[in-house]
Amino acid sequence: MNEDSIDVKQRRKPVQARSRERVSTILRHAAEIFNEYGVDGTSMSAIARSSDMSLASLYRYYPNKAAIVKAIAETHVTKMEQELRDRLAATDMENAVDVLVDLYYDFYRNEPAYSAIWSGVESMPELRTLDLNELYTNARDLDARLKQELPGLADERRRSASLLLPRSVGTILRLAVTLPEEEAESLVREIKVMAQAYLATLAN
């Protein structure tokens, strides 16, 4: 779907507790339906019914399905960024690759609607922007850690590595979650080997 000219802004910002709960309900039920039927197979009417509200009430919060997709994607990004920061801060570099790859893989496989939404990242400009912002945020965190752990690494190479590692790992893991479990787990093991080998070259 082409969203270049579609308004994807939330119409009503929840201020009161009741409104915040209503928005949470909408996004939770929408994610469950996207997860089961896919984004294209879900209608605004289905989201309204699942959320136990009228279609008119749903439209008071979100102008269209793309706006709901974007809102769910934003929650994914926020949750992943926080979990990555927490794990990176608590993990030494020797074990960081395994820990972070496992975190990504678990998130991609188990977070409701993640695959359904992000498989369409290239077709929705707002998702591409979120995706890039997440990449650069993760890269800044990784760059700071590499600077601390590998003080002799040239700035330019360190910055490139900080972009390359999360992007390559994330891209392959997004592929992995579309595969049968045994094949996916084999791919996860290989991406760990690849990332560890790359980190080893940075340390030399």
CATH number, domain of 113, equals 1.10.357.10
* Amino acid 97: pLDDT: 87
Q: Is residue 89 located within the same domain as residue 171? A: yes
Task: Tally the C-alpha atoms within 13 A of residue 176's C-alpha that lie toward its C-beta.
Answer: 27
The pLDDT of residue 15 = 54
DSSP 110: H
Q: Which domain holds residue 139?
A: 67-203
Separation of alpha carbons 1 and 31, rounded Å: 18
Residues 39 and 78 in one domain: no
d(CA 44, CA 26): 10
Nearest-CA neighbor of 107 among 199, 164, 176?
Answer: 176
Same domain, 102 and 177: yes
pLDDT at site 14 = 57
As a whole number of Å, the end-to-end CA separation of the chain is 46
Q: Contact, 30 vs 72, CB < 8 A?
A: yes
Cβ atoms within 10 Å, residue 150: 16
Evaluated on CA atoms 89, 90, 95, 96, the torsion sign reads: negative
Distance between CA atoms of residues 80 and 118, nearest Å: 13
- Within its chain, how far is the Cα of 142 from the centroid? 17
Q: Give the rounded distance of the alpha carbon of 192 from its chain centre.
A: 19
**pLDDT 10s per residue in the chain (204 long)?**
444 444 555 555 655 777 889 999 999 999 999 999 999 999 999 999 999 999 999 999 999 999 999 999 999 999 988 888 888 788 888 788 888 899 889 888 888 888 888 877 777 888 888 889 989 998 998 899 999 999 999 999 999 999 999 899 988 988 898 899 999 999 999 999 999 999 999 988
Is 115 found in the same domain as 28? Answer: no
